[in-house]
Amino acid sequence: DPEWYVGMTPEQMAEEWEDYGNLLGETILVAGNDFNLPDDFRGEEPATPPAEPTPEPEPEEEKTPEDPDAKAEPQPKKKRAVQTDGISKDAEAKLSTMSKKEANRNKGVGGDPIVEPVPGFVQARTEKVISHKYNTWIVMGRDRADPDKASRASGYGGRGNTQCGAIDIVVGRMSPRPLSVGRDGKKVSVDPIFNLAKSGKDHLCDAARIYISQKTDVDKNFRLAKGRVGMAEARSAIAMKADGIRIMAREGIKLVTHADKMNSQGGTITRVRGVDIIAGNNESTLQPMVLGNNMRECIEEMAQVLSEVCGTLANVCTNVAELDTALSTHFHPSPFFGAPTLPSPTVMPVAVASLIKLASIDMFSTAAQKFNIARIKQLYTGPGAKKPIRSKHNNVN
């Protein structure tokens, strides 16, 4: 704590740091195993509904929608950086009796330990659990998954199936408000929470999860839209869920389907399934991807057709201009001694005006349109295009 050193001389600060080293040597650490807290936070009893903590007022984030056309929605509230509601009474008592020096050594700063609420886990007899006091878990057992309540009776493991081994890697059970104990002081133990679940006025979830199963209904368990790929049932699966997922490669990334001709259950795969990218888990607006080469060929053929139409229109303009010229000077032999008549006073001005328009506007516009077609091809589809419609790096089929 920087405020703790205010007014100290360098010698006094060095002495305090020496005391800190002695303190570490004596292993008097609040969040460590030597602190003599109650038994670890893993629960053996069935899960009980967590009591509702009394949160302090929290500020709301500013609304900054990225899409100006999108409907602005309230942004999620921020959690406090340090949230200790729900720790056990024994832990609270230990913290309250610490000296200032000990308290400063147990604030979690710089890798120091810290006390925080962590719910227990309702463990099945066949599960091996590796956990740490900071709400991190690896559960090795059998398929235990459900969209609503992943109890010990859920999944293919709960039904007594074989060949359904599973590994569940989880951090942050019961987020955003984990509890070690409820208001009644009893230990809180929970089942896996695959999807957002309501508890009183709060909504709870497991903060981040990687779920690997030999046999599971992955789409149903995570409430995923069917899409064009469909719902996988009784299939091996790997699922990842978190606030944000990033996949990075130093070279390339491939998304490949139909890698084998047979699935893990021994069934023959009869058709090739693709890749669905579904924003908002809503399949109602799902459409096929565009293929760049085919799109370019289509645009170039349309441009060629349009160019031919412009050429035909130019010929029509030329023919009409010749007709206007003939009409503007048209005359008939007079019945009086065969002398020629004067040009028609009604046709001549109309024909002359039409001829002027054709020569000054229409024929120029036709030529300009052919130039625009060439410019569009050069800009979007030609070699070295400034705005190519095809991706330089990414490909789909």
Is 221 in a helix, a strand, or coil? Answer: helix
What per-residue string of b and e applies to 126-147 under the rule 16 or more CB within 10 Å gives b?
A: ebeeebebebebebebbbbbbb
Q: Check whether the bond before 288 is cis (ω within 30° of 0).
A: no
The rounded distance, in Å, linking the Cα atoms of 76 and 61 is: 7
Joined together, the tokens standing for residue 323 give: 């007709």
Closest CA to 123 of 150, 83, 161, 98: 150
**249-300 tens-digit pLDDT:** 999 999 999 999 999 999 999 998 999 999 999 999 888 888 888 888 888 8
| Average pLDDT of the chain to the nearest whole number | 79
The alpha helices in the chain, defined as continuous H runs, are: 10-25, 89-96, 100-104, 155-158, 218-221, 292-328, 347-357, 363-376
**93-112 tens-digit pLDDT:** 888 888 888 888 888 898 89
pLDDT of residue 7: 53
Q: What angle do CA 148, 143, 241 make, to 5 degrees?
A: 60
User: Residue 379 has what DSSP assignment?
Assistant: I
**12-32 tens-digit pLDDT:** 656 655 554 444 444 333 333
Which residues lie closer than 8 Å to 146 by C-beta, 6 or more apart? 154, 155, 194, 221
Q: Is 173 exposed, middle or buried (0-12, 13-18, 19+ CB in 10 A)?
A: buried
Greatest pairwise CA separation for the chain in angstroms? 137
pTM: 0.68
Q: How many of the other CB atoms lie within 10 Å of CB of 84?
A: 15
